[in-house]
């Protein structure tokens, strides 16, 4: 998953625009009864606090906008994250455009994080609707790759390609949503099945 995060160029969009980040270090508990999200812990290298990965979820409004890293609510510093290779190149090329603002942006961002994390966080596994999640991801990728990128390259739109892209990204989105569900919630299903079996 970490290697995929670095190598897949599409994920630069998740990283640079949505601010979705993957920490450099994740600890995974060896307990098969929990699902992956519950098993993952993220250590802060500054204060050695071991955080539940469930602190950074959509329900806590902390899954995105993590452009500067993951905020540690114990020491107020940021937990270092991986950088996608494409993001790295894009950031390098555009360095003269943003370097002047980085400090100010980070200060502002840190204040927002402090406020977000001052509220009680929900540490339960979020509900995951793979169809909606997958399709919205597919739609997002469609808009970027088929509509915005050709616009930037001043390429002419090809209606055949636009139509094909819609089908392609819907299917890719559904595939993505399904794989993510399987990957993240495999153990939960097993556990709930066990519970049902026990109950009957």
Which spans of this chain sit near Zn ion (rule: CB under 5 A)?
Answer: 44, 46-47, 72, 74-75
Tokens 């390098």, residue? 92
The DSSP-derived string for 82-145 is ---HHHHHHHHHTHHHHTTTHHHHHHHHHHHHHHHHHSPPP-SPPP--HHHHHHHHHHHHHIII
Q: What is the token pair recorded at 27?
A: 């600890």
Nearer to Zn ion, 46 or 106 (CB): 46
Q: What is the Cα–Cα distance from 90 to 88, expressed in whole angstroms?
A: 6
Residue 70 three-state SS:
strand
- Whose Cβ is closer to Zn ion: residue 75's or residue 111's? 75
Residue with smaller CB distance to Zn ion, 39 or 51: 51
Note the residue count of the chain: 200
Output 58 or 76, the one with its CB closest to Zn ion: 76
* Least distance between Zn ion and beta carbon 153 (Å): 43
Q: How far is the CB of 160 from Zn ion (least distance, A)?
A: 52
CB of 3 to Zn ion, least distance (A): 26
Q: At its nearest, how many Å lie between Zn ion and the CB of residue 137?
A: 31
* Residue corresponding to tokens 């009864």: 33
Nearer to Zn ion, 77 or 191 (CB): 77
Alpha-carbon span 168 to 47, nearest angstrom:
45
**What is the longest distance spanned by two Cα atoms in the chain?**
65
- Closest contact distance (angstroms) between CB of 21 and Zn ion is 15
């Amino acid at each position: 998953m970490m290697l995929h995060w670095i190598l897949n160029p599409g994920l630069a969009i998740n990283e640079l625009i949505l601010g979705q980040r993957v920490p450099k270090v994740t600890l995974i508990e060896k307990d098969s009864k929990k699902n992956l999200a519950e098993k993952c812990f993220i250590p802060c290298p500054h204060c050695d606090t071991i955080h539940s990965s469930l602190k950074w979820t959509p329900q806590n409004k902390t899954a995105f906008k993590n452009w500067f890293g993951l905020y540690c609510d114990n020491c107020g510093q940021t937990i270092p994250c991986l950088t996608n290779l494409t993001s790295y190149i894009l950031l390098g090329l555009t360095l003269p455009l943003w370097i002047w603002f980085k400090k100010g942006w980070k200060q502002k961002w840190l204040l927002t994080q402090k406020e977000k994390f001052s509220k009680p966080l929900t540490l339960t596994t979020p509900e995951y609707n793979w169809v909606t999640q997958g399709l919205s991801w597919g739609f997002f990728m469609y808009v970027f790759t088929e509509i915005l990128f050709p616009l930037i390259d001043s390429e002419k739109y090809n209606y055949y390609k636009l139509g094909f892209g819609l089908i392609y990204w819907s299917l890719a989105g559904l595939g993505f949503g399904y794989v993510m569900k399987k990957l993240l919630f495999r153990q939960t299903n097993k556990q709930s099945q066990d519970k049902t079996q026990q109950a009957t």
